[in-house]
Amino acid sequence: MQSHIQKLPLEQVANFPKLFLDYLNEKPELKPLYGHFPRIENFDSLIQEKDFAHRAVLVKVLEEQYAKLGVPENVKLLGEDNTYSVTTGHQLNIFTGPLYVIYKIVSTINLAKRLSEAYPDKNFVPVYWMATEDHDFEEIASFFLFGNKYSWTTTQKGAVGEMSLDGIQEVIDQLKDKPEIFIKAYSQNDNLADAVRQYMHELFGEHGLVCVDGNHRDFKEIFKPVIKEELSNGIVKQKLDENAVLLDQLGYKPQIHPREINLFYKDKGLRERIDLVEGEYKVLETALSFTKEEIEVLLQEHPERFSPNVALRPLYQEMILPNVAYLGGPSELTYWLQLKGIFDHFKVAFPAVMPRNLALVVNENLQKRLDKLGVKVEDLYQDDAKLRKAYVDQVSENQLQLQEEQASLDELFDSIIRKAISVDPTLKGAIEAEKVKVSKGISNLETRIKKAEERKFETSIQQLMGVKEKLFPGGSQQERKDNFLNFYLNNPGFLDLLFETFDPLDYRFNVLYL
């Protein structure tokens, strides 16, 4: 597939969080929020700091999880002391969900390749952390393909990874194109976690990707000391509150608002918050309640029934992986930058926190339409009103601005004021009020002139707004709305193109012209 790529500064293309941009610009005041900035030379220190003692458990569980597919070589490699992981994570959206999920994985795989080249005596395994314990079904149940929304309907509750695939065939039946990779994954497995692992393995297994399902008793055994301390003294809230004070002093707003206890109780069909109420641990929305002694026994006997929330999930991940980098979107990175105090408290190395590659794909047809209109992709990031105005100013042969007239008016009124105050200084206020009225009238006239000119170019403007809607469906970023099948079905080489063009250490925005 022929293509070329344009790199744009992040500040030019979207309203990213200020904390995210300041971090990538290495604002000195943010240094306490992370360990090492993600540059290739800094991974030597990250590797040295990663003290990992659970390789045997990790390999054992992964061999169990991959038994049906065949254990990849990279799973075995994770058992070796000179092997490290680089990780991204996401919910188990049906049919992979929005395009940026694929971008996350490609970025992570490419980072593993770059690190392997830079540190040839080490091995680096790309990992996809499957958010199997997440219970927000609504966030994973739909995807958009060629402008149409497809949704999976089920009455199941609890951790999505454990959900059976009942009803998903109805989604497949609605599709005009039925990719075999998804038909097989959804028909050959009993639950969503296994299905996602299968299609991700088929898409990216040859690139070394390993999918990790954290919903396992052996992993929770490793995490028991953290669970116990969180139940006992709510250490997470304490550390995040300290971080919130620092963020506030620096002019940022925290993204995570911790609870007194940052854990869920999880069982079949159930994942609900644990809350401490009058000395008892209650599972919200249920009749379950435990004394301090009872919940300690439960933790000893069934650690798998405790599930970390967003504030503890990163720590959990880093405790069961030999991980040196985490790649995520802008919002993810801003909440990771709240967590270092928790990592320090539990003496767990904080990984390099990196943005996954961000991108916009422009196909040949849309590129031709933009060229014909004389508009650049970066122009489309303006809001609709500014875009229309800028386009009319660009194509009109008439002078639509009244700055010269306004400047003449300013000179005229200044002259009137000088003459008036020589006679009666109290007249100045009245004259200035008249000036404001006339200036407002000129501004209104300028607006009417521009709108009249706009009507002359209405056809071209509608074409322009149509292109923008294609690239920003529903006013959203393309990568957050469209599914990768929009491009993959017609261009099987689409994933190869992403691997060729994405540089995980280049923190600019990618525009891919197909």
Same domain, 141 and 283: no
Same domain, 83 and 201: yes
Same domain, 268 and 138: no
Q: Residue 134: what residue type? A: D
Q: Is residue 243 part of a domain?
A: no
Instruction: Look at residue 312 and tell me whether its pLDDT is greater than 70.
Output: yes
pLDDT of 457 = 78
Q: Is residue 335 part of a domain?
A: yes
Q: Is residue 394 part of a domain?
A: no
Res. 224 pLDDT band, cuts 50 70 90: very high
Same domain, 189 and 332: yes
The C-alpha atoms of residue 160 and residue 99 are separated, in whole angstroms, by 20
Instruction: Show which of 273, 307, 341 is a domain's final residue.
Output: 307
Same domain, 163 and 273: no
Query: Where do the H-state alpha helices sit in 146-191?
Result: 168-174, 180-187
Query: 240 near 311, Cβ under 8 Å?
Result: yes
Instruction: Look at residue 454 and tell me whether its pLDDT is greater than 70.
Output: no
Instruction: Look at residue 448 and tell me whether its pLDDT is greater than 80.
Output: no
pLDDT of 413 = 76
Q: CB under 8 Å to 196, separation ≥6 — which residues?
A: 92, 130, 161, 185, 211
pLDDT of 339 = 97
Same domain, 19 and 99: yes
Lowest mean pLDDT among 72-86, 129-143, 229-243, 381-395: 381-395
The C-alpha atoms of residue 419 and residue 210 are separated, in whole angstroms, by 82
Instruction: Show which of 307, 323, 339 is a domain's final residue.
Output: 307
pLDDT of 389 = 83
SS3 content of the chain, % helix, strand, coil (to 5): 55, 15, 30
How does the average pLDDT of the chain come out, rounded? 93
Same domain, 24 and 37: yes
Give the DSSP letter string of 306-373: EEE-TTTHHHHHHHHS-EEEEEE-HHHHHHHTT-HHHHHHTT-PPPEEEEPPEEEEE-HHHHHHHHHH
Query: 75 near 115, Cβ under 8 Å?
Result: no
Site of tokens 């992993």: 219
Same domain, 303 and 323: no
Same domain, 303 and 318: no
Residue 320 CB burial class (10 angstroms; 0-12, 13-18, ≥19): buried
Domain hosting 296: range is 222-232+253-307
The C-alpha atoms of residue 133 and residue 450 are separated, in whole angstroms, by 55
What pLDDT digit, counting tens, does each position of 127-180 carry? 999 999 999 999 999 999 999 999 999 999 999 999 999 999 999 999 999 899
What pLDDT digit, counting tens, does each position of 91-128 carry? 999 999 999 999 999 999 999 999 999 999 999 999 99
Residue 447 bridge partners (DSSP): none
pLDDT of 397 = 54
Res. 453 pLDDT band, cuts 50 70 90: low
Q: Is residue 378 part of a domain?
A: no
Q: How many domains does the chain have?
A: 3
Instruction: Show which of 275, 292, 307 is a domain's final residue.
Output: 307
pTM score: 0.89
Res. 51 pLDDT band, cuts 50 70 90: very high
Same domain, 163 and 114: yes
